[in-house]
Amino acid sequence: MTPPVRGARRSDHRQAIATDEPFDLLVIGGGASGAGTALDAVSRGLRVALVERDDLSAGTSSRSTKLIHGGVRYLEKAVKQLDRSQFALVRDALHERALLIRNAPHLCHALPLVTPLYDWVQVPYVMTGLKLYDVLAGRSNLHSSRFVNAREAKRRFPQLKAQGLRGGVLYYDGQFDDARMNVAIALSAAERGAVVLTHAEVTGLHHEGGRLAGATVRDRLSGERLEVRARALVNAAGPYADAIRRFDDPAAEPMLTASSGVHVVLDERFAPPDTGLLIPKTEDGRVLFLLPWLGSTLVGTTDQPAPVVDDPQATEGEIEYILRHLERYFDVPVVRADVKAAWSGLRPLVSDPKASDTARLSRDHVVHVSETGLVTIAGGKWTTYRRMAADTVEAAVKAGRLDDVRPSATVDLKLVGAEHFDADGAAGLAARGYDADVAQYLHHAYGDRAAAVAELAEAGLAARLAPGYPFLEAEVVYAQRFELAVTAQDVLHRRTRLAFLDAAAAAAATPRVEALLAEAAPSAA
Ligand SMILES: Cc1cc2nc3c(=O)[nH]c(=O)nc-3n(C[C@H](O)[C@H](O)[C@H](O)COP(=O)(O)OP(=O)(O)OC[C@H]3O[C@@H](n4cnc5c(N)ncnc54)[C@H](O)[C@@H]3O)c2cc1C
């Protein structure tokens, strides 16, 4: 059995951050960008601390569509505007897609998606576009896309409206569990020596001789104030990046606007277990995905201008919008009561304050360095987190004048759970007596660490947290001991994904999760 991460309780990291010696790099924010940056930096031999105000992945990074993709939408834009930089963006993301699947095979897999076509005129357009997607992927391509006739489209995705269906294009992208990937990245950084402190908020920055020198951090569990010194600082606070920039310079021009993206979750009747659906154009020109995910059906997303708030919620209007479109494309009736969970994520749209056209909003990432040396990473997408992190650390090395720094080593770095991952490992768990759904789930969520969770389960924690879902009581204890979880929300939202799948089931499980957390580790905070 591969040993679980040592020293992965929050209390270990709380102790380690209280040092007078400056870190090489302090990262603010524990989403994909911040965790990725911490991992990249430790892979170069830097001394790194990361502080996250809430939990790992508590912001946008747990609320994505869970696709590892080059962006079919961006490709369309590239073709329409004949924009080489957009083509490069798609190509690079497709390359990263392959790396993610290789470096975290337990959490990522290829997913076939059908694009249904109800008008013959659309066929050559969509077909050419998706063939171009294959070409841009080059050697990183997952499988070739192809036209499927109406019968095959319906066979692949039986819920699809049959009337008027001409056929579809079948293409492939990657799918993953975003929050668990985020945790795996942060734990991989912690295993290599990074201090990763959650529930710790940056409330101010300090400067020495006109240069950034550290941050004031409030431990949100104890209320204590800490001064953390560092030679370079990275601002990876997602939608809150402008607030951090104002700690550095109260007159800083905003870089971000936000739009909200809502997903709803339905049960497994609404999608086949192994194929997704891409609705290429809704009534107002948006893209809608319908995806099988952890035994349920994920549908989204909307795109509406939105204010930056903690824990954004899906509005009834946004939920209605999604259901209305499902009715249009579905032969299976869907009603409001079918919605088991709905969540909203904030997409930060970035304009580089240094760019000549500051009004231009881009989905690409921007690395911005302030006069005092604050490195802000904003925008981009989950799929390209590794590349974004490498760019960010390079900027931080320059801004902090750090010497003797090795090149990034993340291209081949297997994330926690991946190193000894055996693709057939679920069979071993099933042989130990686990139900098939639990065996599959543990195998994919924990990779080569699944046996450690199983050992806890076999020590009296094998009960499910909620009927019909594969999450076990053992995971609560494991999350607290080895995955930096502290609160019931950390466990229910981002170590297991119960709260994202079924809000009522998560609410019902909360007292038991709280009791297990209290019993298992009184010193975890
Ligand atoms: C609806 C939606 C769907 C998406 N779908 C996809 C997809 O399918 N595929 C894909 O590749 N990309 C997708 N994306 C994009 C992707 O989710 C984001 O690019 C990515 O998650 C951004 O990560 P981040 O770390 O920059 O931000 P966040 O995840 O928001 O992380 C920022 C963190 O900073 C913390 N923080 C804020 N202030 C402070 C402070 N003062 N002190 C300490 N910490 C602080 C926050 O708590 C938060 O955890 C989607 C985005 C949205 C909105």
Interval between CA 61 and ligand 1 midpoint (Å) = 4
Whether 128 is in a domain gets the answer yes
488-497 confidence digits (pLDDT tens): 999 999 999 9
User: What is the structure's pLDDT at 352?
Assistant: 60
Query: Do residues 50 and 119 both lie within one domain?
Result: no
In a domain, 412, yes or no: no
C-beta of residue 365 within 8 angstroms of C-beta of residue 377: yes
C-alpha 389 chain-centroid distance: 14
Q: Are residues 245 and 267 in the same domain?
A: no
- Count of beta carbons in the 10 Å neighbourhood of residue 141: 16
150/214 same-domain check: no
Domain total of the chain: 3
What is residue 300's predicted lDDT score, i.e. its pLDDT?
92
Residues 154 and 272 in one domain: yes
Same domain, 504 and 515: yes
Question: In which band, very low, low, confident or very high, does the pLDDT at 3 lie, cut at 50, 70 and 90?
Answer: very low
Instruction: For residue 409, tell me if it sits in a domain.
Output: no
Q: Any idea what the CATH number is for the domain that residue 136 is in?
A: 3.30.9.10
Q: For residue 320, is pLDDT > 60? A: yes
Maximum mean pLDDT: which of 211-215, 298-302, 345-349: 211-215
> How many angstroms does the Cα of residue 255 sit away from the middle of ligand 1?
15
Q: Going by C-beta distance under 8 Å and a sequence separation of 6 or more, which residues neighbour residue 209?
A: none
Domain boundary among 326, 347, 368: 347
Does 322 share its domain with 445? no
Domain contains 159? yes
- pTM recorded for the entire structure: 0.96
Q: In 3D, which of 290, 309, 308 has the Cα closest to residue 300?
A: 290
Q: The domain containing residue 476 runs over which residues?
A: 425-520
Binding site membership of 33 for ligand 1 (Cβ less than 6 Å): yes
Q: Is 380 in the pocket of ligand 1 (CB under 6 A)?
A: yes
Give distance in angstroms: CA of 424 to centre of ligand 1.
Answer: 32
Q: How confident is the model at residue 201 (pLDDT cuts 50, 70, 90)?
A: very high
C-beta of 59 in contact with ligand 1 (< 6 A): yes
**Protein residue whose Cα sits closest to atom 2 of ligand 1:** 64
Assess whether the C-beta atom of 28 lies below 6 angstroms from ligand 1.
yes
Is residue 408, in this structure, part of any structural domain at all? no
DSSP symbols for 22-73: PEEEEEE--SHHHHHHHHHHHHTT--EEEE-SSSTTTTGGGSS--EE---HH
Instruction: Write the pLDDT tens digit of every residue in 159-179.
Output: 999 999 999 999 999 999 999
Answer whether 60 contacts ligand 1 (Cβ < 6 A): yes
Q: Cα separation of 128 and 134, whole Å?
A: 10
Average pLDDT over residues 46-53: 98
Domain CATH for 436: 1.10.8
Q: Is residue 361 domain-shared with residue 335, that is, in the same domain? A: no
| Sequence-ordered list of residues with C-beta below 8 angstroms from that of 287, at least 6 positions apart, any chain | 72, 73, 278, 279, 280, 281
Interval 124-161: pLDDT, tens = 988 998 999 999 999 999 999 999 999 999 999 999 99
pLDDT band at 327, cuts 50/70/90? confident
Cβ of 67 less than 6 Å from ligand 1: yes
- Among 61, 68, 180, residue to substitute to test ligand 1 (most atoms within 8 Å of Cβ): 61
Cα 59 to ligand 1 centroid, rounded to whole Å? 5
Same-domain pairing of 495 and 366: no
H-assigned helices in 235-348: 241-248, 316-329
For the Cβ of 66 lying below 6 angstroms from any atom of ligand 1, the answer is: yes
**Could you tell me if 167 and 290 lie in one domain?**
yes
pLDDT band at 7 (very low <50, low <70, confident <90, very high): low
Q: Is residue 363 part of a domain?
A: yes
Q: Do 494 and 507 contact (CB within 8 A), yes or no? A: no
Could you tell me if the CB of 238 is within 6 A of ligand 1? yes
Counting from 1 in the atom list of ligand 1, the atom nearest the Cα of 381 is: 19
Per-residue pLDDT, averaged over 66-79, amounts to 85
Ligand 1 within 6 A of CB of 383: yes
Centroid of chain to Cα 410: 17
Residue of 393, 388, 380, 447 lying closest to 420 (CA atoms)? 447
Q: What is the domain-level CATH number for residue 222? A: 3.50.50.60
Substitution site in 291, 364, 382, 500 for ligand 1 pocket (most atoms within 8 Å of beta carbon): 382
DSSP assigned state of 461: I
Q: Residue 7 CB: number of other CB atoms within 10 A?
A: 14
CB of residue 52 inside a 6 A radius of ligand 1: yes
Query: Would 357 be classed as within a structural domain?
Result: yes
Final residue in a domain of this structure, among 381, 399, 417: 399
Q: What is the pLDDT of residues 263-305, one digit of tens each?
A: 999 999 999 999 999 998 777 778 899 999 999 999 998 788 8
Measured from the CB, is residue 64 less than 6 Å from ligand 1? yes
Residues 264, 163 share a domain: yes
Most confident of 51-55, 125-129, 259-263: 51-55
| Same domain flag for 69 and 56 | no
Please state the rounded mean pLDDT for residues 483-506: 98
The answer as to whether 416 is a domain residue is: no
- The amino acid occupying position 57 is S
Q: Measured from the CA of 379, which atom of ligand 1 is nearest? A: 19
- At 124, phi and psi to the nearest 5? -65, -35
Average pLDDT value for residue range 72-99: 86
What is the pLDDT of the chain when averaged over all its residues? 92
CB 456 near ligand 1, within 6 Å: no
Give 282 or 67, the one with higher predicted confidence.
67
pLDDT over threshold 60, residue 334: yes
**Most confidently predicted of 114-123, 186-195, 252-261:** 186-195
Q: End of a domain among 347, 372, 387?
A: 347
The residue behind tokens 């699944």 is: 450
pLDDT digits (tens, 9 = 90+) for 362-417: 448 899 999 999 999 999 999 999 999 999 999 999 999 999 999 999 999 999 99
Residue nearest atom 31 of ligand 1, based on CA coordinates: 31
Distance 153 CA to ligand 1 centre (A): 34
Is the predicted pLDDT of residue 486 greater than 90, yes or no? Answer: yes
- pLDDT score recorded for residue 66: 97
pLDDT at position 354 is 56
Q: Looking at the structure, tell me whether residues 230 and 184 fall in a common domain.
A: yes
